[in-house]
Amino acid sequence: HLAAKTGMNMDEAIKAYQAFLRIAPKDHRKVPEVYYEMAICYIEGYTREVAMSWVNKLYVEGQQAEKLQ
């Protein structure tokens, strides 16, 4: 994912993904993937307690975005 590929820390990667989501059309083919990639950033960069609430939310967002494809 983005952080691993570019040497970014997880916060920077999440901010980059959020910036993409702000400007991308809702039906852009990469939108679902971005939600799942952000979830991975939380898993890899945060405590389990912090990550789990975000992972659940982002997974649902990714599923919803898939429906717009």
pLDDT greater than 70 at residue 1: no
pLDDT at 59: 96
pLDDT, one tens digit per residue, over 22-66 is 999 999 999 999 999 999 999 988 889 889 989 999 999 999 999
pLDDT at 46: 87
Torsion-angle region of residue 28: left (phi > 0), alpha (psi -120 to 50) or beta? Answer: beta
Confidence (pTM): 0.87
Distant-in-sequence, close-in-space partners of 65: CB < 8 Å, separation ≥ 6:
26, 31, 32, 35
pLDDT greater than 80 at residue 5: no
